[in-house]
A and B are shown apart, each in its own frame.
Chain A
Amino acid sequence: MSHSHAHANTYLPKLAKIVHIKEEIGGERAIKTYRLEFENGDGFDHEVGQCAMLSIFGRGESMISIASSPLTKEYKQFSIMRVGRVTKAFHELQVGDVVGIRGPYGNQFPLSAWKGKNLVVIGGGVGLAPVWPIVTTAVAKRADYKDITVFYGARSSKDIMYREDLERIRGQATVHLSVDRAEEGWKEFVGFVPANVLAKKPDPKNTVAIVCGPPIMIKFVIQNLQQLGFTDEQIYTTIENKMKCGVGKCGRCNVGKDYVCVNGPVYSWAQLKDLPQEY
């Protein structure tokens, strides 16, 4: 047993206080964005694409993507859709409440390897959250990247998360929004995200495309990117599976030999297409 690990207990969460809550979307599958500040001088740094295990004591834990940039040190941000036991409990919480957090878990988007490239970030629904730190980090280090393009689609204009943030980055990034069905006053694209990508035709030359959203959206976005000439190495996505431990031991998030909590969640399509489709 290595001595340096003698006191590390990965299963013991640190405590963090909710300092800000933003209601992104209402309704049955509401989304709220939480800013958490570590208590007791605790903390950890993370990389773009990593996740953290959030706890509500008495309810349990959920693995959630860290939606803030690693450049933001004061707090970590999480956008949480109200779907299960823990996330429903999260939606009951108020500013000032204290929760548990452990991590960071998983690999990362290779942002430094992408310096000098065009970035095309494609999100659908709550799937914008895991890829959002790519956008905010690249915008903060704007000179490091060429064109930054964001595609984001939601069912209706009421279902668009990070609305103000998306408006704020226009000028430094090209933002293409879409809604599934036509509605009055909507001036941008009407239709699904894959169709919007095909309509706007991002140029694959010196570009990486990163996609996250519902599985069916990811599937068709990838097909359309390939049609536009993107190679499998130029396409990235981030996947999820049910998780408990976060450290590759509890056995349930595996996709073939990989544990998504350790070897994922970030994959290039070149890597992912060779893994079993168990996600």
Chain B
Amino acid sequence: MSMEKTLDKALLSDWIAAVTSGGWQVHGPALEDGIWTFKPVAASVDLDYPNVKQAPKDFAFPQREIFFAFEHIKGEAPRLKEVKPEAPQCAVFGVRPCDGRGAVRMDKVFSDNVNDPYYQERRKNTAYVGLACNAPPSPTCFCKSVGGSPVSSEGMDILLTDLGEIYIAQAATKTGEALMAAADKLFGKMGAADKKQLDKVHADAVAAPQRAVKDAKGAPAALKAGFDSAVWEEMAKPCIGCGICTFLCPTCHCFDINDEMTGMSPLKGQRVRTWDNCQFPDFTMHTSGHNPRETLGTRLRQRVSHKFRYFHENFGMLQCTGCGRCVSECPVGIDIVAVVNKVAEHVA
């Protein structure tokens, strides 16, 4: 880390004001109807919070994105008007390490093979000011077992660590350094005592017990060997196909593309991308009616295998970052940790 400084907690609002006047829209955690979400921050923000209910993937990959508008007057050629994303500079304060690592994985998907211009435009205007998890924010956390850490700065521009009266701010990118430099006077030098306390807090955070995928390194091979296991259908039985697991996930990126009509004469509309979901049966259904993933078990296998096998085969890293949302929010208690462990056990 090239730039490591202290910030008095009382000065957080001044820093946010400085970042805002530097042209950034600052977002921070807000409790709304009992649900933590990232909202634009007016004055200050309370970073003493667990984690947002929904992973902040929508800053770069909104749930709905207009690609272009079309108009087709009868007898003429259709006219297309590309819609460029309106992507204000957003600095998101309080991003948890699992979600920072999620952003790294989304970056892989949207830059591999062909760049996705909409994602890229939004992503380059997004900065993540992370917040280390001194203690697991949820009983369903399992980041350590999938190669992450509660104090990881992967995917972050800055990592903040709460030391009680102060934060330690560690810049991880040039953007992060610039965000700190914008309010240079607010920050203090990290002294030896601060460093010692930081190391202790980080060590305690890493030592805190979590749930665990038993052998994440062996998971790609285990899921390959267990592809035809009966465990998939058995564990998918209660699934109601609601898709909350993929909706909240920091790394689920599947989407649909559809034409939305705004007028019939002349024919007018727009082509729109929306999030989609591999747990819906029509996600893969051919026009003929044939469906390569016809059953609940095949769809659960797809979700879990994508996270723990296919993504690893393509990018050399597990896609799952262990945030635990799909476990805590599943209405029927399907548990990705238990599924991976059980398939692995079954083939062992």
Contact of A250 among B70, B227, B254 (CB under 8 A): B254
A112 part of interface (Cβ distance < 8 Å)? no
A120 to B257, CA, bound (A): 38
In contact, B113 and A247 (Cβ under 8 angstroms)? yes
Closest to A278 in B: B292
A254 to B276, CA, bound (A): 14
Contact of B114 among A247, A257, A277 (CB under 8 A): A247
Q: A1-B124, A245-B255, A247-B114 are in contact. Are A12 and B80 (CB under 8 A)?
A: yes
Count CB-based A-B contacts (< 8 Å).
129
Interface string of B51-87 (1 = CB under 8 A from A): 0000000000000000110101000011010100000
Within 8 A of B (CB), among A134-167: none
A83 to B267, CA, bound (A): 23
In contact, A11 and B259 (Cβ under 8 angstroms)? no
For residue A17, which residues in chain B have a CB less than 8 angstroms away from its CB?
Answer: 77
In contact, A252 and B283 (Cβ under 8 angstroms)? yes
In contact, B78 and A98 (Cβ under 8 angstroms)? yes
In contact, A250 and B256 (Cβ under 8 angstroms)? yes
In contact, B267 and A57 (Cβ under 8 angstroms)? yes
In contact, A249 and B77 (Cβ under 8 angstroms)? no
For residue A84, which residues in chain B have a CB less than 8 angstroms away from its CB?
Answer: 287
A247 to B253, CA, bound (A): 13
A181 to B138, CA, bound (A): 65
Q: How far is the CB of B308 from chain A (nearest CB, A)?
A: 12
A252 to B283, CA, bound (A): 6
B120 part of interface (Cβ distance < 8 Å)? yes
A262 to B114, CA, bound (A): 10
Within 8 A of B (CB), among A48-77: 55, 57-61
Q: A100-B78, A244-B257 are in contact. Are A83 and B115 (CB under 8 A)?
A: no
Contact of B113 among A1, A253, A262 (CB under 8 A): A262
Q: How far is the CB of B37 from chain A (nearest CB, A)?
A: 25
For residue B78, which residues in chain A have a CB less than 8 angstroms away from its CB?
Answer: 15, 57, 98, 100
A243 to B134, CA, bound (A): 43
A248 part of interface (Cβ distance < 8 Å)? yes
Closest to A53 in B: B257
Contact of B298 among A10, A58, A83, A278 (CB under 8 A): A278
A12 to B104, CA, bound (A): 26
For residue B345, which residues in chain A have a CB less than 8 angstroms away from its CB?
Answer: none
Q: How far is the CB of B238 from chain A (nearest CB, A)?
A: 23
Q: A250-B256, A250-B276 are in contact. Are A58 and B82 (CB under 8 A)?
A: no
In contact, A249 and B287 (Cβ under 8 angstroms)? no
Q: A250-B276, A251-B276 are in contact. Are A58 and B259 (CB under 8 A)?
A: yes
In contact, B253 and A252 (Cβ under 8 angstroms)? no
Q: How far is the CB of B292 from chain A (nearest CB, A)?
A: 4
A255 to B293, CA, bound (A): 10
B310 part of interface (Cβ distance < 8 Å)? yes
Closest to A276 in B: B227
For residue A255, which residues in chain B have a CB less than 8 angstroms away from its CB?
Answer: 292
For residue A254, which residues in chain B have a CB less than 8 angstroms away from its CB?
Answer: 302, 306, 310
Within 8 A of B (CB), among A80-111: 83-84, 87, 98, 100
Contact of B109 among A57, A249, A257, A277 (CB under 8 A): A249
B185 part of interface (Cβ distance < 8 Å)? no
In contact, A250 and B255 (Cβ under 8 angstroms)? yes
A279 part of interface (Cβ distance < 8 Å)? yes
Contact of B253 among A2, A10, A249 (CB under 8 A): A249
Contact of A12 among B68, B120, B285 (CB under 8 A): B68
Interface string of B102-117 (1 = CB under 8 A from A): 0000000111111111
Q: A57-B269, A58-B261, A262-B113 are in contact. Are A251 and B255 (CB under 8 A)?
A: yes
A278 to B290, CA, bound (A): 11
Contact of B117 among A5, A61, A276 (CB under 8 A): A5
A245 to B276, CA, bound (A): 12
A2 to B256, CA, bound (A): 26
For residue B118, which residues in chain A have a CB less than 8 angstroms away from its CB?
Answer: 11
Interface string of B255-282 (1 = CB under 8 A from A): 1111101000001010101001010000
B284 part of interface (Cβ distance < 8 Å)? yes
Closest to A253 in B: B284
In contact, B284 and A252 (Cβ under 8 angstroms)? yes
A59 to B264, CA, bound (A): 12
Q: How far is the CB of A80 from chain B (nearest CB, A)?
A: 11
B197 part of interface (Cβ distance < 8 Å)? no
In contact, B80 and A13 (Cβ under 8 angstroms)? yes
In contact, B293 and A278 (Cβ under 8 angstroms)? yes
For residue A61, which residues in chain B have a CB less than 8 angstroms away from its CB?
Answer: 257
For residue A247, which residues in chain B have a CB less than 8 angstroms away from its CB?
Answer: 113-114, 116
Q: Nearest 5 CB-CB pairs, A to B?
A: A251-B254, A84-B287, A257-B313, A257-B310, A278-B292
Instruction: Using CB atoms and an 8 Å cutoff, list the residues of chain B in contact with chain A.
Output: 67-68, 70, 72, 77-78, 80, 82, 109-118, 120, 124, 227, 253-259, 261, 267, 269, 271, 273, 276, 278, 283-288, 290, 292-293, 298, 302, 305-306, 309-311, 313-314
Q: List 23 A-B contacts (CB under 8 A).
A: A1-B120, A5-B115, A11-B68, A11-B273, A12-B68, A12-B80, A15-B80, A58-B72, A60-B257, A100-B78, A242-B284, A248-B113, A248-B114, A249-B113, A249-B116, A249-B253, A251-B253, A251-B254, A252-B276, A255-B292, A256-B310, A276-B227, A277-B292
